[in-house]
Structure 1
Amino acid sequence: MATVAPPRATPQAADDRSHISRVPYLPGLDGMRALAVVAVMVYHANSSWLPGGFLGVEMFFVISGYLITLLLIAERERNYTISLGHFWLRRARRLLPALFLMMTLVTVWTALFERNALGQLRGDVVAGFFYVSNWYQIWVGLGYTSAGDFAPLRHLWSLAVEEQFYLFWPIVMVVVLGRRGSRRVADVSRWVFAVSLVITLFVALIFYSGPLGEPNVTPDAYWWIDGRPISKIDTLYLSTPTRLAGILLGAAFAMVWRPFAIARGPLRSKGRLFDLAALIGLAVFGWMCWNIYLVSPSGADPRLFQGGFFIASLATLAVIAAVTHRGAAAGRLLGNPILLWIGTRSYGLYLYHWPIYQMIRKVAGNSLTLREFVFAMILTGIVTELSYRFIEMPIRKGK
């Protein structure tokens, strides 16, 4: 546990601090998670249906950066301390049970029906267990641009990026809040935003725009490390440093946009304005999902790697601003029962949908038919609900 000496405060100031530091349940964020996971699942089923549906992962990243930072600031203000151990334990109780169950089921299925893939699966399972799937896929050349094999755990790369963020970011926040205090954390947001912008510019500068193929066909599409070809596009898409921009944007926003503080400030009566911002943000995000693509035989989409991720993140922030504003209708609209059900189970839906797709189509790059997609969605929903009710929630609640 990291601690700092508490400042002196009057009872009234302490009461105000306790109220402002609260993080209420924000159903609109679950609604956003629902939109994100549906976009990803549609894209994974058949990329021609929603070419940029993978941007749902970017929305997840921004939401995670925002909410985790909001919770850390709130804990620091309430307790004058951030308990790193408790934070990581909460994350473990939230994430590990369903992950371990999914990997166990996938291993059993592969042993029974896809024995030829067991050798590759061993590495995927180990990487998934230690949350380094993104680095493993980069190193062995099995990222999303490699779509010709049975790969039931390939989707774990994004969870690895988030978990690596969960490991280092609380430590950063302990240092920042210990030196500056939560009252000056808004000043830090500028630096966090600047880092996000630098990452975006760096990715744009090193982006490779040529055709993609095997190393002996398109050698310029690879970096060569100790004789091993490392895909440039896979690295930009999968690596933690190059995908931190969206997460850090969410974190920077949390430092200046706190629901209870906004409800007391001069923007409290501007709900309609933020509804308009959410509408614009969703329109921009939807346009990108419809028009942006990840890769094609001629190469990766330059719009994506040369600012596209950043724009998608900014669009997500516009929606977050609205759904966390008490006076805006966006939170109530996105917090409807259907989206709430999907959003509260978005983690499980993301975990289980990809392996189920792979069990149906065998090869990662094959598209599902509409009938197969409907069947996969029904099966994914059933498995997710069972996992949520009987595995995730009991463990999360300590039962």
Structure 2
Amino acid sequence: MSVSKNHSPLYFPALDGVRGWMALGVLVAHVHLAWFPGAMVLMELFFVISGFLITSIVWRGVQGGAGVDLLVFWQRRLQRLMPALVCVVALCSVVAWTVVPDFGVVARDALQTLLYYSNFTKLYNYIYPGPFAQSWSLAVEEQFYLLWPVLFFAFYKGHLRRWQAASVLVALALACMAWRYHLIAQGAPWSRLYYALDTRMDAFVVGGLLALWYPRLSAWSQGRWAHGLLSLAACAFLVLVLWGTPKELAYFYWQQTAAVLTAALLVLLLASPRVGMFQWLCSLPVSKFLGRRCYSLYLWHWPVIWILLMLRPWPEADKPWLLALVLPLTVLLSMGSYRWCERPFMRQRRALAQAAQAPALALAPGVA
């Protein structure tokens, strides 16, 4: 294996690629969960990647003395996320209006999605998903985007050094784990643990810790033994994806923590200057193609599935035909929204970043 000569600290193609394949994995699971029951473990990797990339941005501002411009940060996040989301919600709501008798359910789901609080509606007594049920993870991430830069603004104002900021993040991750165990002891349902930010925050925090120490960890990851250990950790994460039990309450005892830690090591492996098998696979042209469109893939896939399910029943024997219909349709729709909704606003974000003299990094949020 070789060390990349064109490695950039601002962009990690393999992270884009792995998100593209994960988006397809979630699509397959949502067509028929029995085909991929561990797909929900992938959420830990999505959240770790988000924490890593967002922290890389805000910490660079803190270190450079520019601080954290909260309004600019939030504006750039909305410019990245909202256009495609509005497009999907609007078009799918119009189609849903023609196929469901009670449009009020669709309208409520659309409003909750656009206001980024749909995860709160799923914490208790959640039975059947609406047309935008996948938006719960977008809500969790947007709530993270709202709070995270405020924390680093406090770090900047307090003149905290790297190790001091890392100590705060370690304490935050441990507090999240302790709170999760407390909720389990109090008899909280699975949905309360799965859909809430306070019980999933440790994944973002671990990604943030990885970003804080990435310059040193990047150098370490290039060693032969380090690369081998990271590759083993990546395999361990895949084992959890294949044989984990994320639909059971027991998942939150230890499997989630193991998934978060191994996901962080996988992120380090994919972001390492040393090119290995995992990084090569996730940097193939098809991987990067899917990765650049993973946000749109995620936005479209469940509304497409939901509408088709509303049109007619799909028994288990017909699920392969459903997948054969959903997959190309979702890819085509995502290509359109990426070209006409995402890219124009991404160009505006770059202009805003250049005006603010901040690094522009086009990020896609996590999916589930």
TM tier relative to shorter chain? 0.7 to 0.9
The gaps in structure 1 that reach 5 residues or longer are: 1-21, 209-219, 223-231
TM-score (norm 1): 0.79
How far, CA to CA, are the matches of 2:264 and 2:273 in structure 1? Answer: 16
Residue 90 (structure 2) aligned to one of 89, 104, 115? 104
- Which structure has more relative contact order (CA 8 Å, sep 6+)? It is 2
- Deviations, residues 200-251 of structure 1 (Å, cap 9, x unaligned): 233234327xxxxxxxxxxx967xxxxxxxxx22111111101111111111
Q: Cα distance 1:119–1:319, how it changes in 2: closer, same or farther (>3 A)? A: same
Q: Is structure 2 residue 112 aligned with structure 1 residue 127?
A: yes
Distance 1:25 1:332 in 2: 15
CA drift of 1:364 comes to 11
Match of 2:100 among 114, 121, 137: 114
Shift of 1:175: 0.6
1:190–1:77 Cα change, 3 Å: closer
In the alignment, is residue 305 of structure 1 matched against residue 252 of structure 2? yes
Corresponding residue for residue 6 of structure 1: none
Instruction: Tell me how far apart the structure 1 counterparts of residues 157 and 275 of structure 2 sit (CA, whole Å).
Output: 34
Matches within 5 A, 1:37-116: 37-116=23-102
CA–CA distance in 1 between the matches of 2:281 and 2:56? 23
CA offset at residue 105 of structure 1?
1.3
Classify 1:107/1:221 alpha carbon distance in 2 versus 1 (closer, same or farther; 3 Å): farther
Give the aligned partner of residue 136 of structure 2.
157
Kindly provide the amino acid, as one letter, of the partner of residue 207 in structure 1.
I
Residue of structure 2 equivalent to 1:16: none
CA contact (8 A) 1:36 1:59 kept: no
**For the pair shown, which has the larger CA radius of gyration, 1 or 2?**
1
2 CA distance for matches of 1:371 and 1:358?
Answer: 15
| Equivalenced residues, count | 339
Alignment TM-score, normalising by the size of structure 2: 0.85
- Does residue 247 of the first structure (1) align with residue 232 of the second (2)? no
TM-aligned CA deviation for residue 195 of structure 1 = 2.0
Deviations 1:268-302 (A, max 9, x none): 741x334323422332222112222333xxxx241
- SS of the aligned residue for 1:397 comes to helix
Q: CA–CA distance in 2 between the matches of 1:188 and 1:365?
A: 51
Q: Which runs of 4+ in 1 moved over 4 A?
A: 363-368
Distance 1:197 1:35 in 2: 30
Partners of 1:79 and 1:180 in 2: CA distance: 10
Unpaired runs of at least 5, structure 2: 1-7, 352-368
Aligned-pair CA distance for 1:115: 2.8
Q: Is the 8 A contact 2:190 2:249 kept in 1?
A: no
Aligned equivalent of 1:323, options 270, 276, 295: 270
What does 1:212-251 align with in structure 2 at a 5 Å threshold? 232-251=189-208
Q: CA RMSD in A?
A: 2.4
Contact 1:200 / 1:306 at 8 angstroms: preserved in 2? no
Change (3 A) 1:366 1:89: farther
Q: Which residue of 2 aligns with 1:285?
A: 237
Partner of 1:188: 165
Question: What residue identity is the alignment partner of 2:321?
Answer: R
